[in-house]
Amino acid sequence: MPNAVEPPSESPDRLAAAYELLADGGAAPLAGGTDLMVQLTGELGEPPDRIVDIWRVDELRGIGTAGGTLSIGALTTYTDLRRSPDVARHAPALAGAAATIGAAQIQNRGTIGGNVINASPAGDTLPVLLAMDATMVLGSAGGERRVAAGEFWTGYRATARRPEELLVRVEIPIRDHRQVRFRKIGTRRAQAISKVVVALAWTADGPDAPWSDVRLALGSVAATTVRARGAESVLEGARPTMDTADAAVAALTAVLEPIDDVRSTAEYRRLVAGRVLHRLIREEGSW
Ligand SMILES: Cc1cc2nc3c(=O)[nH]c(=O)nc-3n(C[C@H](O)[C@H](O)[C@H](O)COP(=O)(O)OP(=O)(O)OC[C@H]3O[C@@H](n4cnc5c(N)ncnc54)[C@H](O)[C@@H]3O)c2cc1C
């Protein structure tokens, strides 16, 4: 059994100091540690040589709205997301996703930034962020840059982040009349890694009005979180009828090539993704 390693670590309390410690690109930031501490054993690949503990950097915390954007600091925990009135108002599906992650211990310590950067295809916030057209704000000593969620996850556990960068915050555009629905399928209601995650977003003027700006994002069905553009085109401009739902499910399952792994078979994932999509389209929303 590999030994637990204790890489040298530093614990800055200012963002500028954290950037300085990360500048050579050789250290891994440590946020809540709920993914990284597991990696330190060496059982899941090469552990990092050096760690920079960013937990005390309060500049990476906080949730707020300004200029039509909901801004969520990278160190925001799932418990923070669940308790935030701004998230409840502008991104309730994100609070819903946070509520399905781990159990209370993980929700108190795990952060949205860690979920985004860890880039697991089973990361539960990722489909919601993709469906809501979120932007990732990355920072380093050289300044900040922004990357759209659609370009952020570049492959299996790979992101557009450069080694010297921190994820500073996630920005979600606030849109009138937008609905977002989320569903996670796992083995249990708590402490379950997802078999299928689906997030569906659209705007409409009422329950029977035609949909626009449709975004359908899925997790745990491919190497990374993906959008299902064929099903989106079926839903764009359509009303949420039974026929529309049938056609969208057909478009989704025709192209979906889920992974077969220890948690589930590809066939189960394809079937369930279709059933979940059907329900999300037909579900009564709160208008
Ligand atoms: C028992 C258990 C249950 C879990 N259940 C779920 C679940 O149901 N759903 C789910 O999606 N996940 C689950 N996870 C995984 C994990 O809790 C989440 O991915 C969590 O959000 C990770 O956040 P963290 O703050 O702990 O990240 P850390 O472990 O601190 O970091 C994760 C990765 O992100 C990097 N990183 C962290 N913050 C930043 C930043 N601001 N800038 C740049 N890089 C950064 C780290 O270097 C590391 O590579 C579970 C984990 C455990 C142990």
Q: Which atom of ligand 1 is nearest to the CA of 105?
A: 1
Q: Distance of CA 112 to CAs 126, 165, 171, 177, Å?
A: 9, 16, 12, 25
Element (H, E) at 118: helix 112-118
Indicate which residue's Cα is closest to atom 51 of ligand 1: 34
What CA–CA distance (Å, rounded) separates 218 from 130?
A: 9
Atom of ligand 1 nearest to the CA of 102: 5
CATH of the domain at 260: 3.30.390.50
Residue 36: C-alpha distances to residues 1, 4, 17, 44, 85 (Å): 18, 12, 21, 10, 29
Q: Are residues 275 and 219 in the same domain?
A: yes
Residue 108 sits in the same domain as residue 124: yes
Say how many Å lie between the CA of residue 36 and the centre of ligand 1: 7
262 and 156 belong to one structural domain:
no
User: What DSSP designation does 25 have?
Assistant: S
Residues 117 and 104 in one domain: yes
DSSP element (H, E) containing 242:
helix 242-255
Q: Is residue 4 part of a domain?
A: no
Q: Is residue 91 part of a domain?
A: yes
Give the pLDDT confidence score for residue 205 in this predicted structure. Answer: 94
Strands in the chain per DSSP E: 9-10, 27-30, 50-53, 63-66, 69-73, 135-140, 143-148, 153-155, 158-159, 166-173, 178-185, 196-203, 212-219, 226-227
User: Which one-letter amino acid corresponds to residue 14?
Assistant: R
**Ligand 1 atom with minimal separation from the 60 CA:** 41
* CB 76 near ligand 1, within 6 Å: no
Q: Are 211 and 203 in contact (CB under 8 A)?
A: yes
20 and 48 assigned to the same domain: yes
Instruction: Examine residue 3 and state whether it is found in any structural domain, yes or no.
Output: no
Question: Token pair of 116, please?
Answer: 């985004």
User: Does the reported pTM lie above 0.85?
Assistant: yes
**Angle at 151 (CA atoms; ends 145, 156), nearest 5 degrees:** 115
Say if ligand 1 is within 6 A of residue 48 CB.
no
| Minimum-distance ligand 1 atom for the alpha carbon of 165 | 43
d(CA 126, CA 4): 29
- Establish if 248 belongs to a structural domain: yes
Please report, for the domain that includes residue 150, its CATH number.
3.30.465.10
How much distance in Å is there from the Cα of 208 to the middle of ligand 1?
39
Q: Where are the beta strands (DSSP E) in 189-253?
A: 196-203, 212-219, 226-227
Please indicate, yes or no, whether residues 106 and 146 belong to a single structural domain of this protein.
yes
Q: Which of 38, 53, 68 is the last residue of a domain?
A: 53
Q: Kindly state if the Cβ of 230 falls inside 6 Å of ligand 1.
A: no
pLDDT at 107: 97
- Whether the CB of 124 sits within 6 Å of ligand 1: yes
Co-location of 127 and 216 in the same domain: no
Tell me: do 83 and 185 sit in the same domain: no
Alpha-carbon distances, residue 197 vs 87, 127, 178, 269 (angstroms): 20, 7, 20, 10
Give, for ligand 1, the residue of 82, 106, 195, 263 to mutate: max count of ligand atoms closer than 8 Å to Cβ: 106
pLDDT of residue 163: 97
Beta strands 50-53; 27-30: pairing state:
parallel
Residue 65 lies in a domain: yes
What type of residue sits at position 210? Answer: P
Q: In testing the pocket of ligand 1, which one of 115, 147, 157, 195 has its CB within 8 Å of the most ligand atoms?
A: 115
The percent of the chain in helix, strand and coil, each rounded to the nearest 5, is 35, 25, 40
With b for 16 or more beta-carbon neighbours within 10 A and e for fewer, the 260-277 pattern comes to: eeebbeeeebbebbbbbb
Are 62 and 120 in the same domain? yes
What strands, in cross-sheet order, belong to the sheet with 9-10?
9-10, 50-53, 27-30
In Å, how far are 151, 225, 259, 276 from 158, measured between CA atoms?
A: 11, 11, 17, 27
pLDDT by 10s per residue, the chain, length 287: 445 555 557 999 999 999 999 999 999 999 999 999 988 887 777 889 899 999 999 999 999 999 999 999 999 999 999 999 999 999 999 999 999 999 999 999 999 999 999 999 999 999 999 999 999 999 999 999 999 999 999 999 999 999 999 999 999 999 999 999 999 988 776 677 888 999 999 999 998 899 999 999 999 998 999 999 999 999 999 999 999 999 999 999 999 988 888 888 999 999 999 999 999 999 865 44
Is there a single domain that holds both residue 157 and residue 78? yes
Residue with CA closest to ligand 1 atom 23: 114
One domain, residues 194 and 140: no
Report the number of distinct structural domains present in the chain.
Answer: 3
Q: For residue 46, what are the contacts with CB-CB under 8 A and spacing of at least 6?
A: none
Domain final position from 173, 205, 223: 173
Going from the Cα of 109 to the center of ligand 1, the distance in angstroms, rounded, reads: 9
Q: What is the pLDDT of residue 194?
A: 84
Residue 160 near ligand 1, beta carbon < 6 Å: no
Which residue's entry shows tokens 């209370």? Answer: 104
- Residue 66 belongs to some domain of the structure: yes
- Indicate the residue among 17, 36, 53 that finishes a domain: 53
Contact, 140 vs 19, CB < 8 A? yes
Q: In which domain, by residue range, is 125 found?
A: 58-173
In a domain, 287, yes or no: no
- Is 2 inside any structural domain? no
